[in-house]
Structure 1
Amino acid sequence: MLTPAQQYLTLRSLGAPAVLLSLAMQGVFRGFKDTKTPFYATVAGDVTNIILDPIFMFVFRLGVSGAAIAHVISQYLISIILLWRLMEQVDLLPQASGICNLVCLQVWLTTSLLADGLAVAGQAILASAFAKKDYDKATATGSRVLQLGLLLGLMLAVVLGLGLSFGARLFTSDVNVLHMISIGIPFVAGTQPINALAFVFDGVNFGASDFAYSAYSMASVWTSL
């Protein structure tokens, strides 16, 4: 499964810009209290994906690659629809600063998903070890996943701390916006090690089937807030 998985993920990665932009624009529409437009755009993209999947996979005999191509096309279709509707409502140039902030938020979410991916991998190995009652392997796996989580968090902190400082200028030249972003960078970058460890600890607890502890700890955090 390694080769088709790599083919699928490689092609799917081409849709990353469309996903990032569509998520940012959906945030803009929610700010306008317009939830219908993102809904209709998403439905149009999903229907297109459903139609194109069998065509590319079976008619053109592209298999897994065809599924990935269909998905990428649907993602860009969603972005085009949202962009077209947004251009009818606002002048996009003055709104660039707002979109920039939304893009930065999506960057933070992306790093969270990356940490979650590591947690899921550890969760699967831990669940297998517990099922076989191989507690030594479970302990070693938990320890290694936590170490990798901390390392990932520190790496993300450095990358975001340096990258956002320079990358923000790609989205806007507004001095006030750049100042606001610079205020948020230490928080976004500094919380990455904690964020990564939180996801990994969740994965460890899930792998050990300790769902109650995760639920109670999450509930206690929200209660304290």
Structure 2
Amino acid sequence: MLVTPLRRLLSLAVPALGVLAAEPLYLLVDTAVVGHLGAVPLAGLSVAGIVLAQVSTQMTFLSYGTTARVARLHGAGRRADAVAEGVQATWLAVSVGLVLVVAGQLLARPIAELLSGSQEVADAAVSWLRIALLGVPFILITMAGNGWMRGVQDTVRPLRYVLAGNGLSALLCPILVYVADWGLEGSAIANVVAQVISASLFVRALIVERVPLRPHYAKMRAQLGLGRDLVVRSLAFQACFISATTVAAHTSTAAVGAHQVVLQLWTFLALVLDSLAIAAQSLVGEALGKEDERAAHKVAWQVTGYGLVFGCLLGVAFAALSTVLPRVFTPDAQVLAEIPNAWWFFVALQPICGVVFALDGVLLGAGDAAFMRNATLLAAIVGFLPFIWLSMAFDWGLSGIWTGLAAFMVIRLVAVLLRTRSGRWAVVGAVR
């Protein structure tokens, strides 16, 4: 019988936390560096950053879907087959990444102009985005690498690989922006450097596993089958967060700058909380691969309790930092005046996020992607999007935008709790 004490959960979660935190932490550094260039570059980074984030997060199945498939095979004692899933996920990453680079270069200008509130902000966004898009294939390779390594319960090497890239780039960013005087473009170049270094290390890890490296199209199709539901789920997230940034950008330059600061902190804490979910995903997949349904349920409720506790602690910590932390990211008085309109929503939602993100990991580990797709679509259509567009129509500003986010999270909370309690997600076997 699979045993999942707190020590084992944390042995996977703590390194996963480092991996999850590395990218948004780097983006927070990037935001702080660019924020001192002024409100327009910060707004440009906000618009371009949300576009790049949505391009990459649309492909989250390369990470989460791969973990679900690999963990079941690992639990069934089929390590070579498990690693082979990582090879095929990497081929998918390269193929899709190259297509996205070409499409992104063609569409960067019209998308930036659509999302920006002024031509000046659009110009700044395009200058950053055209360079940063070159890193997309490497971002996707890193996702695939994280996916298969988490599935075989190796979360230490991914931490080293991601820190190697992002650590160097965090040092490089202020040098390129200020010393080399490349401004916003220097930030984008540093971003690409991080992705190239990390992806190269993940590719090397696959090579040393000595598994066949040729493409296997049947396995790729199987991965895309699971990926389909996760892509639709990601589209719902994209519609929400792109809409939020668009409405903020059309409210004022200060509003979109403030939204960028709080949204980056939100993303950072979401991934902090998600570290437990990553551990749960691996352990749930392993338990179901071993046909141990009882252990899978035990992991589910353990991680729910831990997520709630961590979410409460984060909420208290960031409430205490409300007057100090925003000034790290920008000295602009107008941006600072807008931040409280989003800040207190961000703080109050942390306990809910702790539970939702933890159970997301459980259901992803079980491969329950169809339910997650439907729940996310419902939350977006009923909760988030109506408030976003009403905020634009009635000039509710950031308060309206973040009320929509709160509704989105509450609906998702109810959905995942009911699904977990039902037990219908716990389908045993090496593949689902």
Q: Deviations over 1:31-53 (max 9, x none)?
A: 41234311344267789xxxxxx
2:325 is aligned, of 167, 176, 197, to: 167
Residue type of the alignment partner of 1:27: S
Q: Which runs of 5+ in 2 are unaligned?
A: 1-11, 36-41, 49-111, 138-158, 188-252, 384-432
- Amino acid aligned to 2:46: G
CA 36–169 in structure 1, closer or farther in 2 if over 3 Å, else same: closer
Match of 2:128 in 1: 38
Q: CA deviation at 1:160?
A: 1.4
> What's the offset of the Cα at 1:153?
0.9
Residue type of the partner of 1:102? Answer: Q
Larger deviation: 69-78 or 125-134? 69-78
Give the letter for the 2:128 counterpart. P
- Report SS of the residue matched to 1:133: coil
Could you tell me how far apart the structure 2 residues matched to 1:224 and 1:67 are? 37
| Local SS of the residue matching 1:209 | coil
Q: Distance in 2 between matches of 1:192 and 1:67?
A: 26
Matches within 5 A, 1:67-216: 68-69=163-164, 71-75=166-170, 76-77=172-173, 80=177, 81-83=182-184, 99=257, 101-170=259-328, 171-172=330-331, 174=333, 177-216=335-374
The separation in 2 between residues aligned to 1:132 and 1:165, in whole angstroms, is 50
In structure 1, stretches of 5+ residues that fail to align are 48-63, 87-94
Whole-angstrom distance in 2 between the partners of 1:222 and 1:46: 26
Mapping 1:6-21, distance limit 5 Å? 15=26, 18-21=29-32
For the pair 1:26 / 2:45, whether they are aligned, the reply is: yes
2:28–2:264: 8 Å Cα contact kept in structure 1? no
SS at match of 2:122: coil
- Cα distance in 2 for residues equivalent to 1:108 and 1:135: 34
Aligned partners of 1:157 and 1:192 also within 8 Å: yes
Distance 1:154 1:43 in 2: 36
- 1:69 deviates by 4.8
Secondary structure of 1:125's aligned partner: helix
RMSD: 3.9
d(CA) in 2 for partners of 1:178, 1:118:
32
Higher relative contact order (CA 8 A, sep 6+): 2
For these two proteins, the number of residue pairs brought into alignment is: 194
Q: Percent identity?
A: 23
The Cα of 1:210 is off from its aligned counterpart by 1.4
Partners of 2:160 and 2:351 in 1: how far apart? Answer: 35
Read off the aligned partner of 1:38 and give its amino acid letter. W
Q: CA deviation at 1:169?
A: 4.3
Given the superposition, is the C-alpha separation of residues 211 and 69 from structure 1 closer, same or farther in structure 2, using an over 3 Å criterion?
closer
* Superposition TM-score, scaled by structure 1 size: 0.67
One-letter amino acid of the structure 2 residue matched with residue 147 of structure 1: G
What is the deviation of 1:144?
A: 0.8
1:221 aligns with 2:379: yes
CA gap of 1:194–1:74, structure 2 versus 1, over 3 A, is same
